[in-house]
Amino acid sequence: MTQLPPALSTRGLAKRFGSLTVASDVALDLPQGVRHALIGPNGAGKTTLINLMTGMLRPDAGRVLLGDEDITALEPEVRVRRGLARTFQINTLFPNLNALETVALAVCEREGISRTWVKPIAAYKSAVEEAYDILASLALGNDCYRPTRTLAYGQQRLVEIALALATRPRVLLLDEPAAGVPREESAALFAAVTNLSRDITVLFIEHDMDFVFRFASRIIVMAAGRVLTEGTPDEIAADPRVREIYLGRRRHG
């Protein structure tokens, strides 16, 4: 078996806000198809890392590679078109569009048909059907005609994921996908995420250790802007440093 290059890598990634170091010499390789959990105490720089990977923040130093390609200099929207998608910790949706329009919009952007204005959206049948299928696969088929702002919070979290999926990502970065969702629903949400096609490499930030150990096959631990360690769930569970900084304490938030 030939060794595939990692789906996403960072090399020496660093970022400071004034005197506060939020990322320091972050070097990671995300092997293809693997479900990664990114954990660490509050303020460890987990969301910052996602922002650096997706280009929403510019690093002070270091590089980001998607497959073999250096994407450090690319704008966020260009990275998305190359196959790097994300969701947001706090719902970042289109409040007055309904879920169908929201996801259809992402499909149209991906296909380049959002430039066209001669024909109505309904004329692009395959785009509409694809949008609907993504929503139906996340159990949003019945509610996709209601404005997003009127959907239940948990459903809005699913729209976040649906939107990211509509870009057909190779790498999917999920920033606390289940934040604010009741436990029973969170489990279903994580099951949906881990059951995604193995062509998609997933990294999710999550505080609930049950979910982390149940759904991740690799765990990356961050603290104070640095990668403390990474490994399989068993390795992480056995690591005394992780236990000390993270698992030993009661989590908050």
Partner 1 sequence: MTAEAIAGPHAYLQAQARWRTSEAVFWIATLLPFVLTPNYLVLASQVAITALFALSLDLILGYAGIVSLGHAAFFGFGAYTAGIVSKYGWGEPLSGLALAGFAAGLLGYLMSFIIARFRHLALIMITLGFGFLLLEAANSAGWLTGGADGLQGVRTWPLFGLFTFDLWGYASYWYALIVLFLLFLLSRRLIHSPFGLALRGIRENIVRMRAIGAESRAHVRKIYTISATMAGIAGGLLTQTTETVSLGVLDFQRSADVLVMLILGGAGRLYGGLVGAIIFMVARDQFSGINPQYWYFPIGLLLIAVVLFLPGGILGGLARMVASERWRRLIPPLKERQAGER
Which of 203, 165, 189 is closest to 32 using CA atoms?
203
Which of 232, 205, 221 is closest to 34 using CA atoms?
232
Of 80, 202, 216, 220, the one binding partner 1 by CB under 8 A: 80
Structural tokens at position 142: 């019945």
Q: Min. distance of Cβ 120 from partner 1 in angstroms?
A: 5
Q: Does 196 bind partner 1 (CB under 8 A)?
A: no
d(CA 50, CA 71): 14
Q: Which amino acid is at 180?
A: G
Q: Does 188 bind partner 1 (CB under 8 A)?
A: no
What is the DSSP code (8-state) at residue 114?
G
Q: Does 52 bind partner 1 (CB under 8 A)?
A: no
- Minimum CB distance to partner 1 smaller for 163 or for 242: 163
**Which of these segments, 31-39, 80-88, 202-210, 240-248, binds partner 1 (CB under 8 A)?**
80-88
Q: Min. distance of Cβ 38 from partner 1 in angstroms?
A: 18
H or E segment and range at residue 99 = helix 99-111
Instruction: State phi, psi for 12 to the nearest 5 degrees.
Output: 55, 35
Structural tokens at position 205: 């930030």
Q: Min. distance of Cβ 166 from partner 1 in angstroms?
A: 7
User: Which residues, numbered 91-150, are part of the site for partner 1 (CB under 8 A)?
Assistant: 92-97, 100-102, 104-106, 108-110, 113-122, 124-125, 127-129, 131-132, 142, 144-145
**Given its phi and psi angles, is residue 33 left (phi above 0), alpha (psi -120 to 50 degrees) or beta?**
left
Query: Total binding residues for partner 1 by CB under 8 A?
Result: 50
Q: Min. distance of Cβ 230 from partner 1 in angstroms?
A: 26
Of 156, 167, 186, 201, the one binding partner 1 by CB under 8 A: 167
Of 163, 178, 216, 223, the one binding partner 1 by CB under 8 A: 163
Residue corresponding to tokens 């995604």: 196
Q: Is the dihedral of CA 171, 176, 180, 181 positive or negative?
A: positive
- Minimum CB distance to partner 1 smaller for 113 or for 192: 113
Q: Does 89 bind partner 1 (CB under 8 A)?
A: no
Q: How far is CA 122 from CA 20, 100, 117, 133, 173, in A?
A: 50, 12, 12, 15, 31
Give CA 193 to chain center in angstroms: 10
Which of 80, 131, 132 is closest to 107 using CA atoms?
131
Q: Does 44 bind partner 1 (CB under 8 A)?
A: no
Q: Min. distance of Cβ 91 from partner 1 in angstroms?
A: 10
Contact footprint for partner 1 (CB under 8 A): 54, 56, 75-78, 80-81, 85-86, 88, 92-97, 100-102, 104-106, 108-110, 113-122, 124-125, 127-129, 131-132, 142, 144-145, 163-164, 166-167
